[in-house]
Chains A and B, each alone.
Chain A
């Protein structure tokens, strides 16, 4: 028995370990040990053997079991790249089916290290056995427990199928991901491509497949820990940022862009932020953060990109993020500075009518509190979606520069007064009239005038933002640790 158990350890496989290290990677067991609390790991199926008589495959290439991460019980499934390239096998699937079912029953976050190229062809003609339930069971964990995946080197075929269903997918620099690896691509198209040519990390960052990109296995482990820590309990120790800094961020010039991340950093506990999908849907920033030790999900228009207009990708990104917040019980903090949804034929070609609505539907149907802060522009459907009173946010605050409009002001003037303006013969007089109407609309849409019509709960000093949000969050009940969304979180 002892010999059988010892054969699983890295010490028993020095050549395999050395090769993995030469690739600049940790072994699966090293990564697992670095991630979980000391002596907390209970291994399931370590002694399971391949169905092929005599095939050597320690732990059948995937290490499964339960463990604790920073005291929190989790379930883990770590593919071992040193065992037949981390390929999936008949017995390996049985192990996953067992651990996924257990994670669902015991409500354990499921953490997967997805390192491999799909199925192991030698493992008894794949077509002759029943399709494994692995992927269906993993799909059913969505919305029930957090699912986190890391791609360290390769995730192709079966591994990519799992990657594509994770709440949060973390990938290490140099990783390649693809629904089909070189053999499948060759069979389908006749092209001989390397994994890096099929699906390099840059492609997946830009397409929204990968949520967090890191440089090393160690950073991936840190990212898992940080993500899980948002689940609670509330942190006692945290550092508040200097509130005065919030006053200096939005420029005086209305058309000058600024990076909304500075606002997010000015509100949240120092070091608490974890941004998801920064390279996709850039017109909105989505990040988890904490305010006075309590987790929130932040959705913020990004004026640096498309002037903060919401395009299809941003709508998708924010909608899915809202679903994640709903699944975890996090309040959503909406920071609004948008001229509205992206208009024009280019936007229509991307289906903005649907992708924009997707965000509204996600927020309107989320069962977590919303909090809104209008930083600057609050126009049309964009503002409606980004936390207007129709969504009944727990609080709706505006900064002094907030500019409200039912629609873009130039368009509004044109619709309401276009004929009257066009009737004037003298060009200077015409433009003067147009400017007077615009000025009136700007005045009516200014922060205090808008608050006077009770479209905002209050207009505040930006330096007061965090304090007021903290007080508002004091009115929320603690998120239920057994909370379930009741349905799955969209894959993208």
Chain B
């Protein structure tokens, strides 16, 4: 199952709370908002808009 990154909402260095939206993924004709699992600082976002991603791809890290 593949998906496309349609929007990157957060930026590296940004402080986020648990539940804050980081990016939006499109898969199976649905827009899926991907949120921060925990509070922290977004250290790196590994994907860019329009990129096709497969299951298991690391999307971002939060410290």
List chain B residues, Cβ under 8 A from A258. Answer: 33
Contact yes or no, A304 B32, CB < 8 A = yes
- Let me know if B58 is at the binding interface, CB within 8 A: no
A253 to B30, CA, bound (A): 10
Q: Are B33 and A307 in contact (CB under 8 A)?
A: no
A-contacting residues, B10-35, CB 8 Å = 27-33
CA distance A192 to B60 in the complex (A): 36
Give the interface residue-count category, chain A. 10 to 19
Q: Which residues of A196-214 have CB atoms within 8 Å of chain B's CB atoms?
A: none
- B24 → chain A closest CB, angstroms: 9
Chain A nearest Cβ from B19, distance in angstroms: 9
List of A residues within 8 angstroms of B32 by Cβ: 257, 304
Q: Which residues of B contact A308 (CB under 8 A)?
A: 30
In addition to A258-B33, A307-B27, 18 A-B residue pairs with Cβ atoms within 8 Å of each other are: A253-B31, A255-B30, A255-B31, A256-B30, A256-B31, A256-B33, A257-B30, A257-B31, A257-B32, A303-B30, A304-B32, A306-B1, A306-B28, A307-B28, A307-B29, A307-B30, A308-B30, A309-B28
For A253, the chain B residues whose CB sits under 8 A away are 31
Contact mask for chain B residues 17-61; partner A; CB cutoff 8 A; 1 contact, 0 none: 000000000011111110000000000000000000000000000
A-B contact pairs, 22 of them (CB 8 A): A253-B31, A255-B29, A255-B30, A255-B31, A256-B30, A256-B31, A256-B33, A257-B30, A257-B31, A257-B32, A257-B33, A258-B33, A303-B30, A304-B32, A306-B1, A306-B28, A307-B27, A307-B28, A307-B29, A307-B30, A308-B30, A309-B28
| Total A-B residue contacts, Cβ distance less than 8 Å | 22
Q: Which single residue of chain B is at the shortest CB-CB distance from A304?
A: B32
Contacts of B30 in A (CB 8 A): 255-257, 303, 307-308
**Cα–Cα distance between A306 and B25 once the two chains are bound (Å):** 12
The 10 closest A-B pairs by CB, nearest first: A307-B28, A307-B30, A257-B32, A256-B31, A257-B30, A255-B31, A255-B30, A304-B32, A255-B29, A306-B28
**CB of A314, distance to nearest CB on chain B (Å):** 14
Give A residues with C-beta under 8 Å from B.
253, 255-258, 303-304, 306-309
- On chain B, the residues within 8 Å of A256 by CB distance are 30-31, 33
**Residues of B at under 8 Å CB distance from A?**
1, 27-33
Query: Could you say which residues of chain B place their CB within 8 Å of the CB of A306?
Result: 1, 28
Nearest-neighbour CB distance to chain B for A161, whole angstroms, equals: 32
CA distance A284 to B10 in the complex (A): 28
Closest to B25 in A: A257
In the assembled complex, the Cα of A308 lies from the Cα of B28 at a distance in Å of 10
B3 shortest CB reach to chain A, Å: 11
| Residue of A253, A303, A307, A308 contacting most chain B CB atoms (<10 Å) | A307
Chain A residues near B29: list those with CB within 8 A: 255, 307
> Closest chain B residue to A305 by CB distance?
B32
Query: Inside 8 A of B27's CB, which chain A residues have their CB?
Result: 307
Chain A residue with the shortest CB-CB distance to B28: A307
Nearest B residue to A408 via CB reads B29
Q: Which residues of B contact A307 (CB under 8 A)?
A: 27-30
Inter-chain CA distance A304–B29, complex, in Å, is 12
Nearest chain A CB to B17 CB, angstrom units:
16
- CA of A306 to CA of B30 in the docked complex: distance in angstroms? 8
Cα distance, A307 to B25, chains bound together (Å):
12
